[in-house]
Structure 1
Amino acid sequence: MLQFPLWKRLAILLVCLAGLATAFPNLFYNRVERANDARLALEQGAQPTPELEADAAAWPSYLPSGLVNLGLDLRGGAHVLVEVQTSDVYAERMESLWPVLRDALRDKRDEIGTVRRLESKPDELEIRIGNPQAMSAALDAVRAASQPVLSFTGAGSRDFEANADGDRIVVTLSDAERAAIDERTLQQSLEIIRRRVDETGTREPTIQRQGSDRILVQVPGIGSAEELLKVIGQTARLSFHAVVSRTDNPDTEPGLDEVLYPAMDTDGLYYVLERRAVVTGEQLVDAQPSFDQNGRPAVSFRFNASGGAAFGRFTADHIGEPFAIVLDGEVISAPVIQTHIAGGSGIITGNFSPEESNRLAVLLRAGALPAEIKVLEQRTVGPELGRDSIESGEIAAAVAAVAIIAFIIASYGLFGVFASIALVTNIVLILALMTLLGATLTMPGIAGLVLTIGMAVDANVLIFERIREEARSGRGPARAIELGFEKAFSSILDGNLTTLIVAVILYAIGAGPVRGFGVTLALGLLCSVFTAVFVTRMMITGWFDRRRPKVLAL
């Protein structure tokens, strides 16, 4: 006897209703999106305005507000390809080696004489010793300070090499260390760029590595490539230094352990600072836009425990002296320390606009890029292309749906109507799942959706043909329907499973639009099996319980 328990019917109805509620906001995409963006801005502390409050009230807060993310080809946005200047990190690595090697050589001062650092290339370190006759002992001391390279490809290698050149020791990074630095720098850059873009609140950006030193960034919905570069293009390396002196001469020669930086907002003013930073941005744990005591935009910050302790010690020992806040080689401000600043928090002031203070806070929270980036390609994709793509996709999906519905109804009559209802339910559930999972819909994704429509009907065709065969062999209506679903299930499962494997492979090894196609296809297959096996069966069983036909008109 054809059985379909009440609890199963209620569960299927609940799933379908939940899918309809989740997908419903996509019918009012622009309206819901404006409301979501306005509410997010207000939550982040934006100044309430009549326009912002009107946008926030455009969609009721008690209704679902999730949306399917639209890809760059549908929504428009910014496309940027950058190259990470990994060579910049070599100089920093050599700078960090100097104190270590200096201490190692000073332990042998009685033998090798004086130790002095010389000017050299950024990726080299030259050290002159007072007694060239003891060069062998000096080289041994330097080489003993080297460390193994922590990488799979550099196993057994040391991080630097040291060679003699007259009375000088020339230290250079090994090839294995350079390769490890390149890999580490690119991975750090990827993570920091991702954090910066995520801080802006954009949905589903594409941030991926290309080659050995390039990063592709695609952000749907952002106004222009220039706007994106303001977020990802700045190194945002923050540091706090003791001030040695001020000057208006740009040709001033700083000492060996000093640096010369220009003032950001004052033309012709330069600061000579101690090279070694008191605290760096790496020790920041939070940065937020705020206002100073005069009501001007600023950025408040907070250090971690070690940074707060170092900052507190420095301010306690240098009351009445200036200290410089440096961002990417420019002095933002150089206030005089008025009192001991305990607790590891403070405020950065300058001639900021509200937008600039907010952007600086975003950059500082995300962290500094380990190296500068060079823009190789940038372009802005206009929303007109996206609108045309969406309209074309809608037309294609509508034509496919109408043609398939007409065919299935003409072929199977009332059962075809049930299949058509299941088909519409299938599309709704796909959109609901994409909304819940935060998946991105691209133009290839729309193609996957159209393909899914055809495959969804294929499952119903298998079921209906099986029911026909069983009815022709003399089975009663109830038994024919039951056997039709049972015997068609294995064919449906096999056909969809093989396609699902392909969809998973496309997602795993593909990128951008290919992954979008794989996601839509995989979700469509899962929804197709559910609607064909459960939704269609529920409707047919309900019809059969009410009508109790003696013969199936199929």
Structure 2
Amino acid sequence: MLNRYPLWKNLMVLFALIIGLLYALPNVYGEDPAIQITGARGASVNMSALDTVTEDLKKNKIPYKSAVFEKGSVLVRFNDTDTQISARDILNSELGDDYVVALNLAASTPSWLESIGASPMKLGLDLRGGVHFLMEVDMDAAMDKLLGQQEETFRTELREEKIRYRAISKTKDSVQVRLRDEAQLEQAELALEKLHPDMLFTTSKINGRYVLTAKFTEERLQEIRNYAVDQNITILRNRVNELGVAEPLVQRQGANRIVVELPGVQDTARAKEILGATATLEFREVDSKADLAAAAAGRVPAGSEVKMTRDGRPAVLKKRVILAGSHITDSSSSADEYGRPQVNISLDTEGGSKMTAFSKNNIGKLMATVFTEYKDSGKRTPEGKVILTKHEEVINQATIQSALGRSFRITGIDSQAEAHNLSLLLRAGALIAPISIVEERTIGPSMGQQNIDMGVQACIWGMVAVMLFTLLYYRGFGMIANLALIMNLVLIIGIMSMIPGATMTLPGIAGIVLTVGMAVDANVLIFERIREELREGRSPQQAIQQGYGNAFSTIADANITTLITAIILFAVGTGAIKGFAVTLSIGILTSMFTAIIGTRAVVNLIYGGKRIDKLSI
């Protein structure tokens, strides 16, 4: 019989609609202004922190909606943003530096929806408000620093091989070694080629001087560029964590640029200061001969100073720095043979030489690791500049048991999470390349809400206009098209909510509005085909069959070409263009599904297999 879907097709349409509706539903419930309290340096908090937070809020008469302990942090919900900000300021002063207090928006999704992984769409910076930075990594500076390190490495290696050279210098893209004669040139080339397979070596004779030129291979240069950007992304993410921003965005853009978006942050100056601050590390000798009690009272030996350990005890250290964090090239966290957390440190050539020389002559003595970072003091200069305070602490005191080289480890760390966070901070202390801000924008939360309201109104009025037209022009079939239009919008929102990395932006809303207008095109083509078939004398059942069948190729061609354009926009575009391309692509696919399969299912249920004389079209 004509126009009858098999059961599985009807169930497929019903299943798609139910899934789309379930995952779109959390967006109806909205979000509550909230504060999230986590432990500093990656540490987790316990239930006692929840009690402390609620007591502090009650003591200061700050009303809150709810306070719960979940996933190693405390989440407090409020009724409005003014109360949220007041609570943030109070908790910051009450809790101190042991906790990070972050403004957040907590979804009001019911637990039964959360149990199936349903959550509202993430809103972009243009809808939520905040700060946008576009930063550029100075690749020339990265290369210059690396060639400088390579220059020192060549000196050390040639001395170890007992090859005499006249001079070693670096140019813009290479390191040149000048040697005395051809024999030494050949010896140096053989020795360095063996030690540096990632470099290309060429020999030449310039004005009677023998010169060995070393350049990095193209593969190695690409690794260097990627490492410079990736390391700086790690640095920026760490600094953003210190800002206590909920759901930040730090991602690569192009070859050497990084986008940083901080939702909810309105103070651009503070954000720039914090992102530019650098955590550093120093290694110093412990003054074991000093009297701790006398030093704590102010009688510090000459050449020494007092620093505090993590547990609040004083430690007397020599002022001379054995090694600074600028010599750290890499660090990672791991566990020792007993499962205790540790951080593995790698130094450059100069740092390795200094550490070897000191440790060889001081076996049996204590060496301290001093961690230094700069934090926002909450104060400003008369000019409005944020004042950063220097925070120092001794994180480790260890006995030197043997000579240390370019690689060693730091122990005495409280948790694996802290070890991981410390390893990130240490890498942040040794910037491989400077970062400059090439663009910055601040978007207020009121503007973000205004964008949301205007976008929603555009969607509503666009749908109302389209639905009125289809209803008046196509009557009964227009009602079916309107159902498909609503189903299409539900599916778009549901899919956007389901995709983990998808973020709804203002251009994304524009994509939805455009899709609403385009979604009815397929139905118009189908309905006009049905009308043509009826005018040619076909029966209603044949007209429906031929209308859907003949319109399919036209609909597919039109939508596939638009989809290809959307995919190209996503591939080559950035930021706002990607947001538009994502919603447009999803909208094209869902509109094809609802127009071709969805409306056909409804039409088949109403008219399929029945004897009818007239269609309401």
TM-score over 0.5 (shorter chain): yes
Shift of 1:271: 3.3
**What corresponds to 1:436 in structure 2?**
498
Alignment of 1:44-443 (within 5 A): 45=45, 47-48=49-50, 49-50=53-54, 51-53=66-68, 55=77, 58-64=108-114, 65-86=118-139, 87=141, 90-91=144-145, 93-95=147-149, 97-108=151-162, 112=164, 141-147=187-193, 157-158=200-201, 183-189=225-231, 191-192=233-234, 196=238, 202-203=246-247, 205=249, 207-209=251-253, 213-222=256-265, 224-225=267-268, 228-229=271-272, 232-236=275-279, 238=281, 241=283, 243=285, 271-275=319-323, 282-285=330-333, 302-303=342-343, 318-326=363-371, 332-333=393-394, 336-337=397-398, 345-347=411-413, 363=425, 369-437=431-499, 438-443=501-506
Relative to structure 2, which stretch is displaced further, 92-101 or 117-126? 117-126
Shift of 1:387: 1.2
**Relative to structure 1, is the Cα distance of residues 122 and 502 closer, same or farther in structure 2, using a 3 angstrom cutoff?**
closer
More strand as a share of residues: 2
**Relative to structure 1, is the Cα distance of residues 181 and 83 closer, same or farther in structure 2, using a 3 angstrom cutoff?**
same
Match of 1:233, as an amino acid?
G
CA distance in 2, matches of 1:527, 1:494: 15
Shift of 1:91: 3.8
C-alpha contact (below 8 Å) 2:328/2:427 kept by paired residues:
no
**Relative to structure 1, is the Cα distance of residues 382 and 262 closer, same or farther in structure 2, using a 3 angstrom cutoff?**
farther
C-alpha contact (below 8 Å) 2:566/2:582 kept by paired residues:
yes
Match of 1:515, as an amino acid?
K
**Relative to structure 1, is the Cα distance of residues 509 and 89 closer, same or farther in structure 2, using a 3 angstrom cutoff?**
closer
1:28 aligns with 2:94: no
Shift of 1:399: 1.2
SS state of the match for residue 432, structure 2?
Answer: coil
After superposition, the C-alpha distances for 1:206-250 in whole angstroms (9 at most, x for unaligned) are 63346x754332344445445655775345465x7463989xxxx
CA distance in 1, matches of 2:481, 2:170: 77
After superposition, the C-alpha distances for 1:456-505 in whole angstroms (9 at most, x for unaligned) are 11111111111112222222222221221111111111111111011011
**What corresponds to 2:57 in structure 1?**
none
CA distance in 2, matches of 1:278, 1:91: 11
The gaps in structure 2 that reach 5 residues or longer are 55-65, 69-75, 78-105, 289-302, 309-313, 375-389, 403-407
The alignment of Structure 1 onto Structure 2 pairs a total of residues equal to 500
1:468 aligns with 2:531: yes
1:542 aligns with 2:605: yes
CA distance in 1, matches of 2:423, 2:156: 37
**Relative to structure 1, is the Cα distance of residues 18 and 124 closer, same or farther in structure 2, using a 3 angstrom cutoff?**
closer
**Relative to structure 1, is the Cα distance of residues 75 and 498 closer, same or farther in structure 2, using a 3 angstrom cutoff?**
same
After superposition, the C-alpha distances for 1:35-72 in whole angstroms (9 at most, x for unaligned) are 9x689999954733445425379543221442222222
Match of 2:366, as an amino acid?
E
CA distance in 2, matches of 1:271, 1:374: 33
C-alpha contact (below 8 Å) 2:285/2:368 kept by paired residues:
yes
Shift of 1:19: 0.3
TM-score by length of 1: 0.72
**Relative to structure 1, is the Cα distance of residues 229 and 424 closer, same or farther in structure 2, using a 3 angstrom cutoff?**
same
The gaps in structure 1 that reach 5 residues or longer are 247-259, 288-299, 350-355
CA distance in 2, matches of 1:477, 1:545: 10
CA distance in 1, matches of 2:213, 2:497: 53
**Relative to structure 1, is the Cα distance of residues 27 and 458 closer, same or farther in structure 2, using a 3 angstrom cutoff?**
same
**What corresponds to 2:90 in structure 1?**
none
